[in-house]
Amino acid sequence: MAMELKATKNFTVRFNETDSMGIVWHGSYVTYFEDAREAFGMKYGFDYLTIVNQGFYVPIVDMHIEYKSMMRYGDEGRIVITFKNCDSAKIIYEYEIFNRKTGKLVAKGSTLQVFVDMNYELVISSPDFFIDWKIKNGIKNQ
């Protein structure tokens, strides 16, 4: 059975993340997702700088966000990020954001990242360090 790698990150809604409607601006969730990826990377040794030091950027090529309920300034959220394994040279994360006080689902979504080299050329095969990282963390390709 495949193990799923997860990380969680708590946050409090910042004033500048809200908009004239008085709720969190939908674009702010992109930052919440980014914070979650960072928390995940820190936990599992797969953060942005580690990847760059291996000679790769990992730009996002697909992002999907569903908004389920609203958050306001000062609300406290928890974001859960899950690494979804796939055989190709892709990094897929799924995200769920909850209101910490009510437990309510606030938003969910996913991102897809690819590997490019320092000249921004697409890397077709999984880099060795990525395969090694998967093995080390008990993620097996089928």
Site for a copy of itself, rule CB under 8 A? 12, 14-16, 18-23, 25-27, 30-31, 34-35, 38, 47-49, 57, 59-68, 70, 72-74, 120
State how far the alpha carbon of 50 is from the alpha carbons of 3, 14, 21, 35, 36, in Å.
23, 28, 39, 16, 16
For residues 101 and 83, what is the distance between their CA atoms, to the nearest angstrom?
Answer: 25
Shortest separation between residue 22's beta carbon and a copy of itself, angstroms: 5
Judged by beta carbon, residue 18 or residue 126, the one nearer a copy of itself is 18
Torsion over CA: 25, 42, 59, 95 (sign): negative
Kindly state the smallest distance separating residue 126's Cβ from a copy of itself, in Å: 20
Please name the amino acid found at residue 17. Answer: E
Nearest to a copy of itself of 76, 129 (CB atom): 76
Nearer of residues 102 and 141 to a copy of itself, judged by Cβ: 102
d(CA 123, CA 116): 5
Closest approach of a copy of itself to the CB of residue 141, in Å: 25
